[in-house]
Amino acid sequence: IKKIGVLTSGGDSPGMNAAIRSVVRTCAYHDIECIGIYRGYQGMIEGDFKEMGPRSVNNIVNKGGTILKSARSKDFMTVEGRKKAHENLVAAGVDALVVIGGDGSFTGAEVFNNEFGYPVMGIPGTIDNDIFGTSHTLGFDTALNTVVDCIDKIRDTASSHNRLFLVEVMGRDAGHIALNAGIGAGAEEILIPEEDLGLDRLLESLRRSKASGKSSSIVVIAEGDKIGKNVFELKDYIEENLPEYDIRVSVLGHMQRGGSPSCFDRVLASRLGVKAVESILEGKSNFMVGILNDKIALTPLEQAIKGHSEIDRELLRVSDIMTI
């Protein structure tokens, strides 16, 4: 292996830049070349490559987003597209690929590996934390801090006006952000897709909360929650059943994906980047580099894609107890 390519794909997340920096510098440390591929798989198809030396990644460890840009590529879903991408890599002398992204990006990497026997290594970058084989994905910790910060601010208004706030957070089909940030921000109830508590239980809990003398409440709702109502319909439903509540909705949206990465995400990105490059140099391929019990761990890409990242039941219990 003389040259490694690195790209970011799918949704961006804080910590991707720190991971790019780590990959680039680990290559330099081992005296091999590194090529940055712009706009994910689309840039691979279009040959949008740039040589990256250790100084090309100065001052990005603290930056959100991704300097390599990200994209979703329809062309890469086709055999012709992937063939073109492979030709470009071979022509540029790139021997292996580090893909920083989510499960869709890993699926693309796996398909590419199966088709051409091309060495690939994945680094999980998504705020949703919905990938099997790692306790944390890059950006998750930062997103949690952002969400907690927002809810703290919302709480000021909630308690000044004796209001109930329904706060919708990201996470796609997973409730990791909602559950963790909900506990961290002291939410009254947390609605996540993995655990359908039902509307009755929510009403009962809010009734109890009012009766116990609480003047304001925060309910955190994961965007993928399966309660069967969106957050605005839920507001109407609660108002109909509990008219004593003055309710407001806040959908936090894309601010959760941006911002300077937390120290945790920067350290994690640095560790994952080193391991990704060194694993390639050891001849490994088709793995995702993750973190389990604070140790760096390799999981076959296939498992990372197909496996389910379970919600921590202990956190559910803690959340329950906290809302007594």
In angstroms, the CA 295 to CA 192 distance is 28
CB closest to ligand ATP, residue no? 104
Residues in 122-161 that interact with ligand ATP by CB under 6 A: 126
Query: Could you give the 3-state DSSP secondary structure of residue 287?
Result: strand
Facing residues of 98 across strands? 6, 121
Binding mask 18-47 for ligand ATP (x = CB under 6 A): -----------------------x------
Q: Is 72 in the site for ligand ATP (CB under 6 A)?
A: yes
| Residue 256 counted as an annotated binding residue | yes
Concatenate the DSSP letters of all residues of 8-55 into one string: E-SS--TTHHHHHHHHHHHHHHTT-EEEEETTHHHHHHHT-EEE--GG
Write the CB contacts of 247 (distance below 8 Å, at least 6 apart in sequence).
Answer: 163, 164, 165, 166, 235, 238, 239
Largest CA distance in the chain: 71
To ligand ATP, the closest distance from the beta carbon of 59 in angstroms equals 25
DSSP code for 246: -
Q: Is 256 in the site for ligand ATP (CB under 6 A)?
A: no
126 or 250, CB closer to ligand ATP? 126
28-36, 100-108, 266-274, 284-292 -> range binding ligand ATP (CB under 6 A): 100-108
Q: Is 105 in the site for ligand ATP (CB under 6 A)?
A: yes
Residue 128 bears catalytic tag: yes
Q: Is 14 in the site for ligand ATP (CB under 6 A)?
A: no
Residue-level length of the chain: 324
Q: Is 285 in the site for ligand ATP (CB under 6 A)?
A: no
Q: Is 103 in the site for ligand ATP (CB under 6 A)?
A: yes
Amino acid at 262: S
Of 186, 190, 176, residue with least CA distance to 152: 186
- Which entry of 12, 48, 128, 265 is annotated as an active-site residue? 128
| Residue 21 counted as an annotated binding residue | yes
Active site residues: 128
By the criterion CB under 6 A, which residues form the site for ligand ATP?
9-11, 41, 72-73, 76-77, 101-105, 107-108, 111, 126
Q: Which residues are annotated as a binding site for substrate?
A: 126-128, 163, 170-172, 223, 248, 254-257
